[in-house]
Amino acid sequence: MSELRWVEVGNRRRPATPNLTPGRRVYGEELVVLEGREYRIWDPFRSKLAAALLKGLKELPIDRGFRVLYLGAASGTTASHVSDLVGPEGLVYCVEFSARSLRDLLISCAGRKNMIPLLADARTPESYRLLVGEVDLIYEDVAQPDQSEILLRNAEVYLKRGGHAMLALKARAVNVAAKPEEVYREERKKLEQKMEIVDFRTLEPFEKDHAFFLLRAKG
């Protein structure tokens, strides 16, 4: 069961995850102690998954011991919160294409033995086949025109039967000339050919022209 908690910060309600490395921050986030345990406040302006939770995402299928394939880990902000949730028994495979971002990711991974940084291209999932096995969840935040196709290719290779996927979709990266609502509609058609759409949320005011899909593998 997910160890996500909700806390009041001033007059705001924010999600928080149990800090896997007590006393250490990853991106300057606030730390609070609840019932003798330290938690990290999850910033929705820095994490699209936190934004989706605040927009009412009805399910967070990330539990202790889970194996997660994270595509587009960047500097590791959201990946570090996923690391908190899967705990020391789980693993987060952090795929990042940019060598510059990987340097920041390595700093985020420091002290977090369950975060595995991988310099690789998410478009070619077979390239990291020897390093990543079957996973419970795929999370993708890759601002490319073929975002949906990247997710589906990786799901075909790595996602277990009945596993979940999360896609943070940037509409302007798919088609800068189309209205975001049109992009969401077309991408939904692609995704539901291969996966079940469990939930869908737009991310304003936290992220402009972004939407979040929660998916489940069919069968």
The CATH T-level fold of domain 44-217 is Rossmann fold (3.40.50)
**Side chain identity at 11, as an amino acid letter?**
N
Q: Residue 10: is its pLDDT beyond 90? A: no
Predicted model pTM: 0.95
pLDDT tens digits along 132-145: 999 999 999 999 99
The domain segmentation of the chain, as residue ranges, is 44-217
Task: Show Cβ contacts of residue 206 under 8 Å, excluding neighbours closer than 6 positions.
Answer: 44, 45, 48, 50, 51, 54, 55
Q: Do 84 and 17 form a contact (C-beta atoms < 8 A)? A: yes
Task: Show Cβ contacts of residue 98 under 8 Å, excluding neighbours closer than 6 positions.
Answer: 74
Task: Give the pair of three-digit tokens for residue 216.
Answer: 């489940």
Rounded CA-CA distance 112/120 in Å is 20
Q: What is the DSSP-derived secondary structure letter of residue 110?
A: T
Taking residue 131's Cβ as centre, other Cβ atoms within 10 Å add up to: 11
Sign of torsion, CA 212 88 127 129? negative
Task: Show Cβ contacts of residue 25 under 8 Å, excluding neighbours closer than 6 positions.
Answer: 31, 40
pLDDT tens digits along 161-214: 999 999 999 999 999 999 999 999 999 999 999 999 999 999 999 999 999 999
